[in-house]
Amino acid sequence: MPTPQNYANHPHRPYAWNVAWVSALVAAGVLVWSAYQDPSLQSLALVLLGIAVVIGVTLTRLFALRLQNRIIRLEMQLRLARLGREQDVARVSMSQLVALRFASDAELAALVDRAVNEQLTPDQIKRAVTDWQGDYLLT
């Protein structure tokens, strides 16, 4: 069984994506420098290719994050509907919903009310969770 998640160890850091993005950015930089040193049609084409790769890697991550947020919103809609609080989805921001997903069903309704009334930040919401529900599909 994976290590139980809590506030201190829950962030997912996609190291492979970071390596790919930095590598693409460095390669694009080297291609720009090379094209500046020795301008040609081929070097211009390589610069454009390098920029396209940086954009492609960035968009891949952004699209994955958007999809993840849509899935979390759906998960929270289902959880709140099961608790008879489906209207609460519209009361909180997406970042608050993402933070609320770690709360157990027993504390979710009260935490939603606190998040709305006190305008809690996602970090404050996560710190307020007492029964942490980890996301073990990331590991």
- Model confidence over 72-92: pLDDT tens digits? 999 999 999 999 998 999 999
**pTM summary value:** 0.80
What's the count of helices (H) and strands (E) in the chain, helices before strands? 5, 0
Are residues 100 and 124 in contact, defined by beta-carbon separation less than 8 angstroms?
Answer: no
pLDDT for the residue 138: 56
Give 111's pLDDT tier (boundaries 50, 70, 90): very high
Per-residue pLDDT, averaged over 48-54, amounts to 97
pLDDT for the residue 115: 95
Two structure tokens written together for 44:
């211009």
Q: Reduce the secondary structure of 66-131 to three states and give it as a string.
A: HHHHHHHHHHHHHHHHHCCCHHHHHHCCHHHHHHHCCCCHHHHHHHHHHHHHCCCCHHHHHHHCCC
